[in-house]
A = this chain, B = another copy of it.
């Protein structure tokens, strides 16, 4: 599995998927929320809240404010369209929305490109670990930082 960036068609599909899910679940995909989602998925690398803020201010040709962006992000995370990478305070689009709330990531420190790795056996292992500790999981953060194939060959 390479860490190359998403194709235009993948991006379109991803945006369309979110629209469909919102429609069928009566979730208010407002203009701002849609803009923020598009900015995130099109970025191809993890993006920071204030970068989104700048981008959206430019697009709309008027300044936006942090709460606007953070609220949109909250909505998108809430519904599984976006994930937060806590180790780098950044956000990424999810290419498997509704398939899972939890998602695991490989993040290349050099090129910054990331890869979702929704590995079932990993998922199993984590849930077994939790069970073994009598622990009820509500949220899992798994972020693996390092170097992708391309960058480690350079």
A146 in complex: contacting residue of B115, B138, B144, CB < 8 Å: B138
Contact size class for A? 35 or more
Any B CB within 8 A of the CB of A149:
yes
CB 8 Å contact bits of A102-118 with B (1 = contact, 0 = none): 00101011000001010
Q: Which residues of B contact A104 (CB under 8 A)?
A: 129
Any B CB within 8 A of the CB of A32:
no
A106 in complex: contacting residue of B87, B106, B122, B135, CB < 8 Å: B135
B133 touches A125 (CB 8 A): no
Name the distance in Å between A102's Cβ and chain B's nearest Cβ: 10
Chain B residue nearest to A148 in the complex (CB):
B135
Interface-centre pick from A121, A137, A144, A147 (highest chain B CB count, 10 A): A144
Identify the 5 closest CB pairs spanning chains A and B, nearest first.
A134-B149, A86-B86, A137-B146, A125-B125, A138-B146
